[in-house]
Structure 1
Amino acid sequence: MTAPSTAPAPPSRGSRWIQQWDPEDETFWKETGEKVAKRNLLFSVLSEHIGFSIWTMWSVLVLFMGPEYGLTPADKFLLTSMVTLVGAVVRVPYTFAVAIFGGRNWTIISAGLLLVPTVAAFAVIKPGTSFNTFLLVGLLAGIGGGNFASSMTNINAFFPLRKKGWALGLNAGGGNIGVPVIQLVALAIIGASGGPRVLLGIYIPLILVAAVLAALFMNNIENVKNDTGAAKDAVKDGHTWIMSFLYIGTFGSFIGYSFAFGQVLTNQFGRTPLEAAYVTFIGPLLGSLIRPVGGALADKYGGAKITLYNYVGMGVATAVLIVASMQKSLGLFTVAFVVLFVLSGLGNGSTFKMIPGIFQTKALAKGLEGEAAAAYGRRLSGASMGLIGAVGALGGVGINLAFRQSFLSYGSGTGAFVAFLAFYAACFVVTWAVYLRRSAAKGQATTASEAKPQLSYAEV
């Protein structure tokens, strides 16, 4: 008997390779696809989670580094800036690695690579080590940031368009939560008078576990290929750069504040490392947990609308932070900072949901339908995600450099917050102007077929 067309074809390169994958086929999705996709999502989240923890471990390690290490606040902000920079840059090659090696295979490799910065930090973190050595080892930790790009590219291929907001939000949120988890572990270790090597020693076996589980339970998709033409098209498409700009405002804020929050509390408000650790994990935790909610809200109401209102909230929270910083109100400052984290997480989910929707809209505007439209949307959204993720992460570099300059110039973070407020205002204007503005006069003059693509942008 001939196998049903909805079943995956026999693997061509081993038992972990799926030769045919069509999540847009509802029969295939219900009978086979959903179960496989969710299993891969689960272990992708685990690996990305560990990657985020290793990437942001220096936000925690600097809290252990007291006066005996001989580092100034400016040194520490520079260190975390460079770690963030590497994490942003490596996202581009990590995006293409999925098609070269396979999603499962690259998850194993990228998880194993996390041993390099973790073991290196374990070896050098002690008083007397030079700042340049810390900087070099910190740069190695940046590879953890790349896990996000490869994981998102991989999971994007597993799920149908109607589920991408939820799936990508859950995948990213599960990864993002690696930030507060490592901060919580650090809190317990600092509270127990343990040292930074205890923290690093905990993560070494966890890295090995993530790699082994990926090897046992994940799959590669045969028809996920690197399309250099798609990459070039994505680079040339203005929406790639517009969404990169918007993602700087959401994810750049999340990762930048994750690195900087504890340092601001210790340097501006005189909190001890233990006191800072008691609150630094709350913002990243809530921001991570709410990211899938942002994706789900975007699925229901449209990513552009959620993103627009989210930037209003981020602007208000930042204005409150400026007031709290000037008045040296620790309580108000902490609450406003946590709210800003939550909004950055919500915006992370809504902005990333916009990407496949935008390119799907462009496909429909070109007259494509059905699978042809879905294939076009997958092709360009997959190619653009790595670049958007990389540029967005650069926002974290800017945040830490802004804090560094603000503390050097004014002795506080107030100047940096003013700059952030102006940037969020710019993000609001861009979101409205590109994806939500509709001129009534223009709408009356245009035909229905011409107006439809513009109208649907409000629903991406």
Structure 2
Amino acid sequence: MDTFQVKGTPKRGLLGTTLGFFFGFAAVSLYGPTAVNFKEAMGISSTLLGLLVAIPSLSGSLLRIPFGAWVDTTGGKKPFFILLLLSVIGLGGITLLLHFSYPNHMHGMYGLILFFGFLSGCGIATFSVGIGQTSYWYPQKEQGKALGTYAGLGNLAPGIFSLILPLYLAHYGFISAYLAWFIFLFIGLLIYAKLGVNAYYFQFRDAKMSIDKSREKAKKLGQEIFPSGSVKDSLINSAKVKNTWALVVLYFTTFGGFIALTAWFPTYWNQFQGFSGVKAGLFTAIFSILASLLRVPGGSFADKAGGERMSLLAMVLVLLSSIVLAFTQSAVIGILAAIVLAAGMGFNNAAVFKLVPHYVPQSVGGAAGWVGGLGAFGGFVIPPLMGAIADSYGKIGYARGFFVFVLLAAINMFIIYRLLKSKPVEKN
């Protein structure tokens, strides 16, 4: 046993999870832009179409919870690989179905496409797995930087592909796009299989070393965070920590909000500001990319200033920018406010996952599952609320809908205040 050679480094562990999540998140980017093709071919209602478009995000949210907790027993590579493989199967299934049945033989295929869509969404669920897998590689003082880099770069996929997809669809067509995305995701699966590696403790456990010896040897190599218990224990233990639920609410606002606004902003720019579809898509992509990229410096800032203080600053930005967006009719001011809102969301998303291993060090995977899975549900809850406001107030309602974020930011500022009041002295 003593001759066992460990594999990888923290940097390699981070590279593997970041690339894996980027590929997995990109896998479902086709659904929204190609929704009209499914509607026309199958003759389905708008309600059924809405379910079809939402189903990858639904599985990508719910599966974060059990798969995130699984990291605490396996180290992450196995659940991450399985989720990517299921996503490959889902996207491959849709590609084959379209090749043989589109456009004249699609009637009656709705259930099958819904199933494949559910599988495709598994790539999004890799997020919480990657959080746990990355977290175990790094010491407490570097969690913000590492997790900010992972989530920030991985989250770039929706923004980047919202720019690429319209061009690809225009030049190569609907079915070709699905084939290209299937090949892209399959390559991502192979890359992760090669680069993905578990932290030292899990490698020693896989080599049949005892828990105590594995901890001892991993500590000598620099690992600071260790799991305890089974998948069930990880979920239960993290759920018992009240601050886990505080982090869920914080993440619900800014990651759920990020997903929600990626869907809402095209309508806002088009219907309220009068932008063309292409221009509306461009400014939505700018918001998405900025919110993702700013998670990287946001993580480093959180390491230095503390996750709670970083989150408080972020919520101030969300509050102020949302008030401006709710009232301004100026396109220029609206664009500037959207940029500030992107900064607030990116910074808070980074701060939240700096705090996960701080508050729940023995069940990082379970906590990451709860926070990532339930937090992402904001992407389903927030748009209908904003839509209801728009229905009530007419055109101005597209702006007034941002009051949802004003309320959420105010609630979160109170939560952060309570976290700071109860926070122990942090040792870096």
TM-score range for the pair, normalised by the shorter chain length: 0.7 to 0.9
Aligned to 1:205: 183
Name the SS for the 2:121 alignment partner: helix
Point out where structure 1 has 5 or more consecutive residues left out of the alignment. Answer: 4-8, 12-17, 19-31, 360-376, 438-452
| Structure 1: distance between partners of 2:92 and 2:301 | 40
| Structure 2: distance between partners of 1:199 and 1:246 | 36
| Structure 2: distance between partners of 1:65 and 1:421 | 36
Point out where structure 2 has 5 or more consecutive residues left out of the alignment. Answer: 206-226
| Structure 1: distance between partners of 2:287 and 2:71 | 31
1:43/1:218 contact within 8 Å kept: yes
1:311/1:428 contact within 8 Å kept: yes
Aligned to 1:418: 403
The answer to whether the aligner puts 1:435 opposite 2:404 as a matched pair is: no
Aligned to 2:345: 344
2:30/2:165 contact within 8 Å kept: no
| Structure 2: distance between partners of 1:250 and 1:173 | 13
Aligned to 2:292: 288
| Structure 2: distance between partners of 1:356 and 1:400 | 30
The answer to whether the aligner puts 1:10 opposite 2:16 as a matched pair is: no
1:49 is matched with which residue: 17, 22, 32? 22
2:41/2:107 contact within 8 Å kept: no
CA shift, 1:75, in A, is 7.1
| Structure 1: distance between partners of 2:386 and 2:56 | 15
The answer to whether the aligner puts 1:323 opposite 2:327 as a matched pair is: yes
AA paired with 1:173?
G
Taking structure 2 as the reference length, the TM-score comes to: 0.80
The answer to whether the aligner puts 1:383 opposite 2:366 as a matched pair is: yes
**In structure 2, do the counterparts of structure 1 residues 256 and 287 end up closer, same or farther at CA, with 3 Å as the change threshold?**
same
The answer to whether the aligner puts 1:153 opposite 2:135 as a matched pair is: no
Name the SS for the 2:377 alignment partner: helix
**In structure 2, do the counterparts of structure 1 residues 71 and 262 end up closer, same or farther at CA, with 3 Å as the change threshold?**
farther
AA paired with 2:69?
F
Aligned to 2:214: none
2:307/2:351 contact within 8 Å kept: yes
CA shift, 1:278, in A, is 2.5
| Structure 2: distance between partners of 1:62 and 1:94 | 29
1:80/1:259 contact within 8 Å kept: no
**In structure 2, do the counterparts of structure 1 residues 309 and 73 end up closer, same or farther at CA, with 3 Å as the change threshold?**
farther
| Structure 1: distance between partners of 2:87 and 2:267 | 25
Map Cα deviations across residues 373-425 of structure 1 (whole Å, 9 max, x no partner): xxxx2x13333111111111011111222244344444443343222211111
AA paired with 1:154?
Q
Q: How many residues align?
A: 394
AA paired with 1:98?
V
CA shift, 1:107, in A, is 3.0
| Structure 1: distance between partners of 2:44 and 2:406 | 29
CA shift, 1:241, in A, is 0.7
1:59/1:259 contact within 8 Å kept: no
**In structure 2, do the counterparts of structure 1 residues 230 and 78 end up closer, same or farther at CA, with 3 Å as the change threshold?**
closer
1:40 is matched with which residue: 3, 13, 16? 13
CA shift, 1:235, in A, is 1.0
1:51/1:147 contact within 8 Å kept: yes
**In structure 2, do the counterparts of structure 1 residues 171 and 319 end up closer, same or farther at CA, with 3 Å as the change threshold?**
same
CA shift, 1:184, in A, is 2.1
Name the SS for the 1:159 alignment partner: coil
Counting aligned pairs with the same residue, the percent is 24
**In structure 2, do the counterparts of structure 1 residues 66 and 233 end up closer, same or farther at CA, with 3 Å as the change threshold?**
closer
**In structure 2, do the counterparts of structure 1 residues 144 and 268 end up closer, same or farther at CA, with 3 Å as the change threshold?**
farther
1:174 is matched with which residue: 126, 146, 153? 153
The answer to whether the aligner puts 1:354 opposite 2:355 as a matched pair is: yes
* Mean CA deviation greater in 129-138 or 222-231: 129-138
Aligned to 1:110: 83
CA shift, 1:322, in A, is 1.0
Aligned to 2:238: 234
CA shift, 1:427, in A, is 0.7
AA paired with 2:425?
S
**In structure 2, do the counterparts of structure 1 residues 75 and 404 end up closer, same or farther at CA, with 3 Å as the change threshold?**
farther
| Structure 2: distance between partners of 1:85 and 1:195 | 27
**In structure 2, do the counterparts of structure 1 residues 436 and 242 end up closer, same or farther at CA, with 3 Å as the change threshold?**
same
**In structure 2, do the counterparts of structure 1 residues 430 and 98 end up closer, same or farther at CA, with 3 Å as the change threshold?**
closer
Name the SS for the 2:4 alignment partner: coil
Taking structure 1 as the reference length, the TM-score comes to: 0.75
The answer to whether the aligner puts 1:401 opposite 2:370 as a matched pair is: no
**In structure 2, do the counterparts of structure 1 residues 332 and 149 end up closer, same or farther at CA, with 3 Å as the change threshold?**
same
Map Cα deviations across residues 91-114 of structure 1 (whole Å, 9 max, x no partner): 012213435555333333222222
AA paired with 2:128?
A
AA paired with 1:162?
K
| Structure 2: distance between partners of 1:414 and 1:213 | 43
